[in-house]
Amino acid sequence: MSKPLHLMRRKAVNAVMLSVTALCTLFAAGTLVFILGYLFVHGAKSLNLDFFTKLPTPVGEAGGGMANAILGSAKLLLLATLVGVPIGFLGGVYLAEFGGSGFSFVVRYTTDLLNGVPSIVMGIFAYTLIVLPQKHFSTLAGGLALGVMMIPIAIRSSEEFLRAVPLSLKEGAVALGASKAKSILTVVIPAAKHGILTGIMLNLARVAGETAPLLFTSFGNRFWSPGWEQPTSALPVMIFTYAVAPYDDWHQQAWSAGFVLLILVLAVNIVARMILSKRVAAR
């Protein structure tokens, strides 16, 4: 007699818990939709051409844009690429093609640890290396901070895509008499090229939104920043500065900047992931 009751209880627990897990999922997925929707509604409405072409206006004066911050972000990302991609890519080649067991393990482990170092600590690192000796903030220091942050992911993603190249391709090259270096250069890297480039795009999208390492390296600037030796504005730093300021029209600008940044970052992510999943499906 008690058995059906017991069974009913178990079935009820089953139904309740399964719906709870569905709610958890809904919440997590809904958060992104909410963020995107909210930024679209609040950021897109005041977005105009001025935002992309004009300098920020002084407090209290309406209008203005963030052209200098957009250019500043682009310059910082260029520097970061120059620092992070060569080291990351070549390191990835080493791990995938030359690495033995002992040293490679140490490099991989250190890479993972470096990847986990908080971005603000990376900012201190670039500060002590460049800003402290030079005694002034600069685009260079910001670019270095972002570049060092790119290295771990560049290494691991390059290694992964190089390893995914089928062994038969390498064997074919070696059988034709190619040296190891030649087979890597002419067979392995071209075969992994798209994956590696996609990895770099994702990596760039990640550091493009980084704010903390720029606060005391590239600092900020309300005007254009010629050359590489002066402090420069960057889009994420502007969002922070404008969001915590007490002016309503600055908040509005922060929403617009947030919208632009989010669209850029998400677009790169979506395109990159689609390319990657297509490649996996084709294989």
As measured in angstroms, the least distance from the Cβ of 216 to another protein is: 5
As measured in angstroms, the least distance from the Cβ of 60 to another protein is: 21
As measured in angstroms, the least distance from the Cβ of 260 to another protein is: 11
Identity at 280, one-letter amino acid code: V
262 binds another protein (CB under 8 A): yes
Q: How far apart are CA 248 and CA 13, in angstroms?
A: 50
User: Binding segment for another protein among 49-57, 58-66, 181-189, 192-200 (CB under 8 A)?
Assistant: 181-189
Contact by Cβ (8 Å): 131, 217: yes
As measured in angstroms, the least distance from the Cβ of 283 to another protein is: 17
Choose which of 94, 163, 229, 249 interacts with another protein (CB under 8 A).
94
Contacts of another protein in 38-57 (CB under 8 A): 38-39
Q: How far apart are CA 205 and CA 194, in angstroms?
A: 17
Q: Which of 22, 76, 111 shows the shortest CA–CA distance to 238?
A: 76
Contacts of another protein in 113-172 (CB under 8 A): 113-114, 116-121, 123-125, 127-129, 132, 148, 151-152, 155
Give the number of residues written for the chain: 283
Contacts of another protein in 200-239 (CB under 8 A): 205-206, 208-212, 215-216, 219, 236, 239
258 binds another protein (CB under 8 A): yes
Determine the Cα angle at 212 with ends 86 and 89, to 5°.
10
Of the pair 112, 166, the CB lying nearest another protein is at 112
186 binds another protein (CB under 8 A): no
252 binds another protein (CB under 8 A): no
Of the pair 54, 206, the CB lying nearest another protein is at 206
What is the DSSP secondary-structure string of 52-98?
HHSPPPPTT------HHHHHHHHHHHHHHHHHHHHHHHHHHHIIIII
Of the pair 68, 93, the CB lying nearest another protein is at 93
CA distances in angstroms from 83 to 30, 118, 143, 219, 273, listed in the order given: 37, 19, 8, 19, 24
Contacts of another protein in 70-89 (CB under 8 A): 86-89
10 binds another protein (CB under 8 A): yes
Q: Is 57 left (phi over 0), alpha (psi -120 to 50) or beta?
A: beta
